[in-house]
Amino acid sequence: MKTIPALLAVALAAALPQAAQAEDWFFRAGIHTVNPDSDNGSLARGALDVDIGSDTQPTFVLGRMLDEHWGLELLAALPFQHDVRLNGDKALEFKHLPPTLSVQYYFAPGAKVRPFVGAGLNYTWTFEEDESGALDGTKVSIDNSFGFAGQLGLAVDLSPKWHLVFDARWIDIDADVSVNGDNVGSVQVDPWVYGAYIGYRF
């Protein structure tokens, strides 16, 4: 399963036409905040209410415009780290990587300010679970997740090559949780992800 981020990168390269034109490609770098849903469900048959905290990390995008409207992009990031509270008390930290492959549609071709929408597939790779509090001394495992990702954004041209981008994404992330090898239920992360970055066309 840990090969999935690499497979998403291969899928992006395979989906893009090989004869690239000047300034069809773009690279973007910035920051995103992953803000999980306020209701993350419960574990142990409802005995433990789950609350997952937010985190902000640098993010990177590689993509290509296929024509004046359509584009493809692959979102990557440094690992996000989240605190997990059970019934209000901190009990776990974990990290994840969220590579997301999206198809985008840009409005207003030729304009300096271009709204766009996107839809695609997210793969969330979870690792380095660190137990504490009520879970101290146990071994917690959070499964990886596939899910839909939707996107709303705005691209603002600064020059023919440079641009700013602001976006918001909703990602469907549900994951099974095991404690000492026993499944104790699933959590619904389902975050809104807010970002801002600067882009360069080449």
Encode pLDDT of 88-127 as tens digits: 999 999 999 999 999 999 999 999 999 999 999 999 999 9
DSSP strand pairing (80-86 vs 70-77): unpaired
Q: Supply the pLDDT for residue 47.
A: 77
Task: Choose between 46 and 16: higher pLDDT.
Answer: 46
Alpha carbon 123 to its chain centroid, in Å, reads 8
**Torsion sign over Cα 15, 21, 26, 27:** positive
CA angle centred on 83, ends 100 and 78, rounded to 5°: 35
Confidence tier at 41 by pLDDT (50, 70, 90): confident
Write down the H helix ranges in the chain. Answer: 4-15
Contacts of residue 182, Cβ cutoff 8 Å, sequence gap at least 6 = none
Work out the average pLDDT over 146-154: 97
- Side-chain half-sphere CA neighbours of 198 within 13 A: 4
Confidence tier at 22 by pLDDT (50, 70, 90): very low
Tens digits of residue pLDDT in 181-190: 999 999 889 9
CATH code at 4-13+24-201: 2.40.160.20
Q: For a pLDDT cut of 70, what percent of the chain falls above it?
A: 89
Is the pLDDT confidence value at 75 over 50?
yes
* Residue that has been written with the tokens 């004869």 in this structure: 19
Q: pTM value?
A: 0.84
Q: Supply the pLDDT for residue 12.
A: 52
Confidence tier at 143 by pLDDT (50, 70, 90): very high
Is the pLDDT confidence value at 16 over 90?
no
Q: Supply the pLDDT for residue 7.
A: 53
- Residue boundaries of the structural domains of the chain: 4-13+24-201
- The two tokens of residue 148 are 């839909």
Residue 103 to residue 123: CA distance in whole angstroms: 15
CA angle centred on 111, ends 108 and 113, rounded to 5°: 90
Residue 8 to residue 36: CA distance in whole angstroms: 23
Q: Supply the pLDDT for residue 8.
A: 53
* Residue that has been written with the tokens 């690992």 in this structure: 79
